Structure 1
Amino acid sequence: MELNNKSPFRGLGLEICANSVESAIAAQQGGADRIELCTNLAEGGTTPSYGQIKWCVENLNTEVWPLIRPRGGDFLYSDAEFENILEDISYCKQIGCKGLVTGLLNKNGDIDEQRCAKIISVASPMPVAFHRAFDMSADLSKSLEKIIKLGFVRILTSGGKENAFVGAKKLKELVIQADNRIEIMPGAGINADNLLEIAQTTGARNFHTTAKSIVASKMQFRNEASKMAGENTDEFSHEQTDLIKVKVLKEILNHL
């Protein structure tokens, strides 16, 4: 594909979903343009601790946008959970986060407009992005219009499919429908092998991925008889953002 200085692919950005402070450090060192800070990737990400958020805001130069999601599972929350969400948002605003990421649905699959409006109000002037709760909504086209009207600045989405590569055609439709009123950011399953094709197909300008690898434990003593997690879980390794993978992805975008 031939590109000139006026190419729509110029200035593409990379958001890294970082599941720890070490992942956030690797994301910054790899050249990420923004960090979505979370924990518990196995459940699609939940809210990181106050200490993690504070450390990243105070020690990193890259924008930090915490994920505000009180638990795994669906995006239909109780009153107590919603109060928890608002408290987390207030904390993020207080310590100087550049933005935050969240999303709520009603039981019928519509966007929870009343609670989302409250979130936008509490967060202001801090911008808010809508996460992949969007993909679980009943009608993506209608949900997009509601999210725009509410004042969210970005939607993280796989096009309602299992990953962004499979959902690329729908993502293109969403980018066209959005018409620069909001950013459509493809995410889920993006890697060095498919980033180029996803970018070309969708026309999106920013992309989201974990860029993670398995990190082996440095522990010398290992009690193999005890388990802290599931039966088939490796107790002596964890997932972490891979600096090299981030660099490779950023290099791909820089050459588009």
Structure 2
Amino acid sequence: MPGLLEVNCLHEHDARRAQEGGADRIELLGTLDGGGMSPEPSLVETVRGAVEIELRPLVRLREGYGTDGGEFTRLLGLVQSYRDAGADGVVFGFLNGYDEVDAEVCLALASELDCPWTFHRAIDHTLDTDKAWRVLPQLPRLDQVFTAGSARDVEHGLDELLARCHADPQVAELVMAGGGLQPEHVPWLARAGVHAFHIGHSARPLGQYKAYVDAPLVQTWRELIDDEVGRVQPG
């Protein structure tokens, strides 16, 4: 299986440069506030018109990882608007009051989808990660879990990610490693069976979100991922 490279984008200018650099997929955010909030459907439509690669907007309307029944209708409407605007999938993830995967909300939302989706880094804030990994594979149409292996970054979560992926190929198949991902992490993760990777600030000059995504930087990640994933998964 070839490597997958997802780039965090804020607008169509980021998206065009990500595609030019060889990214496979865009995670589209409206703002970086509170760790990232949902974009407007009009922005999704604009980005869809600018690029051909896969596009998944973030579905998140408040800080933190909780939601409630009153917000569910808004979340579902937002997902439907994104699909109408040309999104190929979405990104979301919710925790309950016990810092566990909110399986009820996630299942209800996933059951309404007609597209694949990513569970975002809420998993890195769960109280019992083992339990979270037992729940997530049961959710319909989930094909990726964006995780750093820790609430901080990949540097601090690398050992956890490697151990989990070596122990369970199903986990390795679902993991999209990101959150402070550094080039030196990629070979280790690839050897553990991870083939999907997410970059944000490292796709930008000096790691600054004030700068647009830089196509040559994305290209260096493209080549690194292809080399390392191809080394362990030839062909």
Of the structure 1 ranges 147-156 and 36-45, higher mean CA displacement relative to structure 2 is found in: 36-45
Runs of 4+ residues over 4 Å off in structure 1: none
Partner residue of 1:230? none
Partner residue of 1:144? 133
Residues 213-252 of structure 1: pairs in structure 2 closer than 5 A: 213=205, 238-252=210-224
Q: Secondary structure at the match of 1:208?
A: strand
Q: Deviations over 1:86-111 (max 9, x none)?
A: 11111122233211110011010111
**Contact in 2 for aligned 1:129/1:154 (Cα 8 Å):** yes
Partner residue of 2:47? 56
* 1:177–1:127 Cα change, 3 Å: farther
* 1:213–1:83 Cα change, 3 Å: farther
Structure 1 unaligned spans of 5+: 1-9, 217-236
Q: Deviations over 1:135-180 (max 9, x none)?
A: 1111111101111111221100011241112211111233245423
Partner residue of 1:65? 56
Q: Secondary structure at the match of 1:35?
A: strand
Of the structure 1 ranges 57-66 and 128-137, higher mean CA displacement relative to structure 2 is found in: 57-66
Shift of 1:214: 6.3
Partner residue of 1:135? 124
Q: Deviations over 1:196-243 (max 9, x none)?
A: 344346431110011123699xxxxxxxxxxxxxxxxxxxx9243222
Structure 2 unaligned spans of 5+: 229-235
Of 3, 10, 14, the match for 1:19: 10
Q: Secondary structure at the match of 2:210?
A: strand
Of 69, 72, 77, the match for 1:82: 72
Superposition RMSD on alpha carbons, in Å?
A: 2.2
Distance 1:80 1:202 in 2: 41
Distance 2:220 2:34 in 1: 26
Partner residue of 1:163? 153
**Contact in 1 for aligned 2:30/2:39 (Cα 8 Å):** yes
Distance 1:201 1:167 in 2: 16
Partner residue of 1:219? none
Identity %: 25
When normalised by structure 1's length, the TM-score is 0.80
Distance 1:246 1:195 in 2: 16
* 1:177–1:154 Cα change, 3 Å: farther
Distance 1:58 1:38 in 2: 16
Q: Secondary structure at the match of 1:180?
A: helix
**Contact in 1 for aligned 2:89/2:115 (Cα 8 Å):** yes
**Contact in 2 for aligned 1:63/1:98 (Cα 8 Å):** yes
Question: Which of the pair has more CA radius of gyration?
Answer: 1
Distance 1:148 1:179 in 2: 12
**Contact in 1 for aligned 2:28/2:39 (Cα 8 Å):** yes
Per residue, is there more helix in 1 or in 2?
Answer: 2
Of the structure 1 ranges 80-89 and 25-34, higher mean CA displacement relative to structure 2 is found in: 80-89
Partner residue of 1:107? 97
Distance 1:142 1:175 in 2: 15
Distance 2:57 2:188 in 1: 25
**Contact in 2 for aligned 1:11/1:205 (Cα 8 Å):** yes
